[in-house]
Amino acid sequence: MIIIEEILVANSVGLLILILSMLSRVEIRKEKHLSGKIFDGMIWVTFFALILETATFFLDEKPGIVVHILQYAINSYLFLASSCVGLLWVLFVDVRIFRNTTRVKKWFKILIIPYAVLVALIICDWFGTGIIFSINEQNVYVRGKIVILSYVFVCCCYLITLILAVLAVKRNGHIRFFPVHYFVIPSFIGTLVQGLFYGIATGWMCLSIALLFVQLHLANQNAYEDELSGLYNRKYFVWMVEKLTRSKRNRSIGAIMMDIDQFKFINDKFGHSVGDDAIRNLGRILTNVNSDSTTAFRVGGDEFVVLCIDGTKVDIEQLLSTINKQLIEFNETAGKPYTLSLSIGYSTCHTTGTSLDYFFHQLDMLMYEQKALRDKKVLH
């Protein structure tokens, strides 16, 4: 039974929550981080879904061919939008945890296959197959034979993110992401209730609440992020080092300390906006070496650290090789007025019986020794 008043109230509340979330993001709307773009995508998909879901309930049983076409179009959007949010949520969680665009591309390639199948099934429904849904002669929406496929896809996406978060915490104990159940639980409850009881509009409203929870947490987590490079900041680096120092478990730590060569020259010759561009681009390169055991930080103006927990010397050398390859590719293809090169110090140690402060001091010295040698060569 459809209670139009309940639908209006629920979706109006959802829209109000989303508008508040959008307004709170005005200050960071300029951010170019991938996670910010994905999150904005989820907000806008949900925003239009709340409006269109209300419209489709009003159109139910209204006569006319135009209404018939609109019902197909709107319900197609709603099914694809819910699955799209599930897909985007997986990408969002992965990029927040691992900060690795390569991983995100892999997840997209995996998830786009079942999503494309769902698109194809809905297109078939326009020709009367009734697989996911249909609109009968009275312009009444009817669920299809295997409509559950849409719900299964969304639930699988939620389950994937729970697994990703658990594995990240188990392996590192990081605070790389908030507990994903902040989003998953209200979204799952709303989807389940609306799936079981047609006519109760809880799905999109609960999703709006979940997005607000995420937004509130992101506001807190921004304290650990460097806005310019997109990497974690010095505050988070210090927190991690202190945690490793206090740990009773003897762990191998590999670290790379680096800064940008001739960075002052880049700023002086081309301006600070170009210097900022250099930092952003190095940040993008370093996100690609992030993994479940490797984290990149910007710890100062042009100083960066890559920390590899349980990393060996071989692991560090492989990371260096990857970074150098990406630097070469960037310099050859980016067409920037500057060349990105780095002075680097790297080594490994164990957390037990070693002063990590002294270890990083030694890395700093190694980095500046290399920098001095490079500057000497430039002068000659």
The C-alpha atoms of residue 119 and residue 101 are separated, in whole angstroms, by: 25
Specify the domain boundaries for CATH 3.30.70.270 within the chain: 234-379
Q: Are 69 and 44 in contact (CB under 8 A)?
A: no
Tokens for 24, please give them.
């709170």
Task: Give the fold, CATH level 3, of 234-379.
Answer: Alpha-Beta Plaits (3.30.70)
**Placement of tokens 């710890």 in the chain:** 299
Specify the domain boundaries for CATH 1.20.1070.10 within the chain: 4-223
Q: Are 152 and 86 in contact (CB under 8 A)?
A: no
Beta bridge partner(s), residue 348: 254
Backbone phi, then psi, for 369, in 5-degree steps? -65, -45
Kindly calculate the radius of gyration of the chain based on its CA atoms and give it in whole angstroms. Answer: 25
Cβ burial, residue 25 (10 Å; 0-12/13-18/19+): middle
pLDDT of residue 3: 67
pLDDT of residue 312: 83
pLDDT of residue 126: 95
pLDDT of residue 30: 45
Backbone phi, then psi, for 18, in 5-degree steps? -65, -40
- CATH architecture assigned to 4-223: Up-down Bundle (1.20)
Tokens for 193, please give them.
């209730």
Alpha helices in 99-147 (DSSP H): 101-125
**Rounded to the nearest 10 degrees, what angle do helices 203-221 and 34-59 cross at?**
160
The C-alpha atoms of residue 61 and residue 374 are separated, in whole angstroms, by: 76
| Per-residue model confidence as pLDDT tens for the chain (380 residues) | 566 777 888 889 899 998 888 877 654 444 457 788 899 999 999 999 999 999 998 888 899 999 999 999 999 999 999 999 999 999 998 888 777 778 889 999 999 999 999 999 999 999 999 999 999 999 999 999 899 999 999 999 999 998 888 877 665 544 455 568 889 999 999 888 888 877 677 889 999 999 988 888 777 777 788 878 878 888 888 888 888 777 777 888 888 888 888 888 898 888 988 998 899 889 888 887 877 778 889 988 888 989 888 888 888 888 889 999 999 999 998 889 998 988 888 888 887 766 777 777 778 787 777 776 666 555 45
Strand segments (E) across the chain: 133-135, 141-143, 252-260, 294-298, 303-309, 342-350
Beta bridge partner(s), residue 332: none
Residue 269 CB neighbours (<10 A): 12
Residue 352 CB neighbours (<10 A): 10
Q: Give the contacts of 279 (CB within 8 A, at least 6 positions apart).
A: 228, 229, 260, 298, 302
* Of 361, 345, 327, residue with least CA distance to 256: 345
